[in-house]
Amino acid sequence: MCGIAGIVGRPGQQDAVARMIAAIAHRGPDGLSVSAAADHALGHARLAIIDLECGQQPMASRSGRWLIVFNGEIYNYRELRAALAGRYEFVTHSDTEAILAAVECHGVEAALAMIDGMYALALVDRQERRLHLARDHFGIKPLYYTALAGGGHAFASELKAFAAIGVPLAVDPAAVATQLLCRFIPAPYTGRAGIFKLRPGEWRTLSMDGPAETARRIVPAAQRRAATDIAASPQAASDALEAGVVGQLVADVPVGMLLSGGVDSALVASFAAEARPDMHSYCVGYAAQDRATEFVEAEASARLLHLNHSSIVVERQDFAAALRHSMWHLEEPIATTSLVTYSLLCKAVAAQRKVVLSGQGADEPWAGYSRHRFEALLERHGPAIRMLAPAAARIFGHAGRSRLRAVLGSLDDERARWIAYRALFPLERVRTALGAEATETALHRIHAALDWAEGQAPAAAAAGPFARLLVRDSYTDLSDNLLLLGDKLSMAHGLEVRVPMLDVAYATRVLQLPRTAKRAGLTMQRSKVMHKAIAARRLPRAIVNRHKKGFETPLATWFATEFGRGIRDSVLASSAPLAAVLPAATLLGGVPPLRAVGHELQQQLFSLWAMNEWMQVFR
């Protein structure tokens, strides 16, 4: 795991790339390096996890044709090395060299299909003068790129690397509108004009001699194999998940576990603890009396699995102080209320571990959210719901339920409904605040992101609205919200977080299961039935059937105090950075009272607060 950056297509860039890498040195505290030639320079900040002595980058292939910088982990690198041993002379034990060997022996397209892992990579073809950029199938690792004024291209793991070489980071109003409509900014956009990020599973080729570029989709071999083996049985799914967890334990340093009180992380931990009995687990929470805290449940899971366990307590003052630091690292205006808590968790864990596993990634393919339950009900009882919808919309016509009204108003338009499930502000209010042009551009970008998502799992997406929602969530909300947050805020502290639930062979298999396997129980208020059947083979029912809490933050309590009034007034102030782009009072419908802060208002205030802080980054 590390940070990467580079400039191609223009001479004399070694010093510029050195500045880029220095700006993201937190991602790789074990060493910074730059390699330069006449018309390209690549840089690398290393967090040493595999082949601690000899895995330095940038790394050249044996022929000298290919030069790579790579962020992530390739879990099947040993298998690749074994398969290529007779055709390629290896000089390290690193996964980086396994990628180079596969490219040299099979070409870029075949090599990208062969590798199994989480990655963002840049590969220079010195012979054909091309730069190849690639992001893993689910987009676990981010990668940004831009065209430079005067010619050439730059890429980096983080936007602040571009700021280090004077690339303008102007706010993109259409991206702000996109965030207001879905809480994050789907790839290829970033919130900054002219700077883009690769989409999940994208392979982009840039010419070092001009503007020509192409974008293609990577189809992993593991995904193709899963498509031919989709038996809907708990044992088959369990075997695939176990293989994914064990495969992601590969490391030359100790591996820990992020453990909540829920079933997902406990299931991952159960497989991991069998393979590595010395596992240490970590849970974060608030004061013991707060309902969002899962310390008791996580400690119970840790005892059962014989894990050494630590509970990390977050106070309100820690949360407030850490928000700006978190937004500086996050770089995109994501409106997920748990982002600060996650950052503080990673900071504490990084003092003891370089690598941890997480239970993230089960809810999207397995239908773990309330929107998935509603979609299942709509698919099964559509006529009745459509008949009752007008009356329900009138009943919920009061303030604070705009999202529910929007969902009920889009029963015959599933893409509008996808936006309604997420939008914190009504579409017409966004249009009034930001204008028709920015809003229509945002809607166009959202539709393009959904198109790309459906192409990542076309067979699953063809199975109907419920299955399409899971596919869309897995390649948009997960990739460019939760996983982006997970990467940026863990790497801010030099911590690598792995997500075995998104092992390609396992997760794509889940998406391709018959929708009845994932819809089962949802219409009776039970979620992830088959997933929990897998867990029940290994864990007590008390863990498997715990009520889902999510990674919550006690904003309802906090916003009803002076703390909340300070937040509200800061986003409404005419001097706020936010005021230069959008009128917060228009979005909020005036100055909201804070006597009793409902869930929707909590999220609206947090979203505007986070965006206000984001706008101060790189000003």
Q: Domain containing 231 — which CATH number? A: 3.40.50.620
Are 144 and 234 found together in one domain?
Answer: no
- 123 shares a domain with 81: yes
pLDDT digits (tens, 9 = 90+) for 509-561: 899 888 888 888 786 667 888 899 889 988 998 888 877 766 667 777 888 88
- pTM higher than 0.85, yes or no? yes
Same domain, residue pair 346 and 490 = yes
Residue with the bigger pLDDT between 236 and 488: it is 488
Instruction: Provide the CA 37 distance to its chain's centre, in angstroms.
Output: 34
Torsion sign over Cα 274, 275, 280, 281: negative
> Would you state the pLDDT for residue 518?
87
Domain finish residue from 496, 525, 544: 544
How many percent of the chain have pLDDT more than 70?
Answer: 94
Q: Which pLDDT band holds residue 252 (cuts at 50, 70, 90)? A: confident
Structure confidence at residue 573 as a pLDDT band (50, 70, 90): very high
Backbone angles phi, psi at 453, to 5 degrees: -60, -45
- pLDDT at 439 (0 to 100): 96
Alpha carbon 549 to its chain centroid, in Å, reads: 20
pLDDT digit string (tens) for 354-369?
999 999 999 999 999 9
Query: Considering the domain boundaries, does residue 468 fall inside one?
Result: no
CATH code at 138? 3.60.20.10
* Residues 271-278: contacts with CB under 8 Å, at least 24 apart: 271/241, 271/242, 271/245, 271/246, 271/500, 271/538, 272/245, 272/246, 272/357, 273/305, 273/306, 273/307, 275/245, 275/246, 275/249, 276/249, 277/306, 278/254, 278/308
Which pLDDT band, with edges at 50, 70 and 90, does 320 fall under?
confident
Name the percent of the chain in helix, strand, coil, to the closest 5: 50, 15, 35
Domain boundary among 544, 563, 585: 544
More confident residue, 68 or 395: 68
Averaged pLDDT of the chain: 90
The continuous run of DSSP H or E covering 384 comes out as helix 370-395
Report residue 125's pLDDT band, with 50, 70 and 90 as the boundaries.
Answer: very high
Task: Please check whether residue 253 lies inside any domain of the structure.
Answer: yes
Is residue 263 located within the same domain as residue 339?
A: yes
pLDDT of residue 285: 85
List the structure tokens of 75. 């879990």
Q: Which two tokens stand for residue 455?
A: 């192409």
Least confident of 187-191, 473-477, 615-619: 615-619
Q: What is the pLDDT of residues 70-118, one digit of tens each?
A: 999 999 999 999 999 989 999 888 899 999 999 999 999 999 999 999 9
Q: Report the pLDDT value the prediction gives residue 456, as an integer from 0 to 100.
A: 96
Higher pLDDT, 151 or 232: 151
Looking at the structure, do residues 230 and 117 belong to the same domain, yes or no? no
- Poorest-confidence range of 121-130, 289-298, 457-466, 591-600? 289-298
Give the total number of structural domains in the chain: 2
* Largest pairwise CA distance in the chain: 71
> What is the b/e burial string over 460-484, where b = at least 16 CB atoms within 10 angstroms of the residue's CB?
bbebebbbbbbbbbbbbbbbbbbbb
pLDDT in tens, 234-246: 788 888 999 999 9
pLDDT of residue 278: 86
Rg (the chain; Cα; Å)? 24
Instruction: Measure Cα distances from 102 to 4, 114, 125, 126 in Å.
Output: 20, 8, 14, 17
DSSP state at residue 117: E
Length of the chain: 619
> Do 213 and 252 reside in the same domain of the chain?
no
What domain range is 109 assigned to? 2-159+195-218
- Closest Cα to residue 580, out of 437, 436, 433, 445? 433
Q: Please tell me which residue, 93 or 499, carries the higher pLDDT value.
A: 499
Residue 495 exposure: Cα atoms within 13 Å on the Cβ side: 27
Residue 403 has a pLDDT of: 80
Query: pLDDT value at position 492?
Result: 94
594 vs 532: which has the higher pLDDT: 532
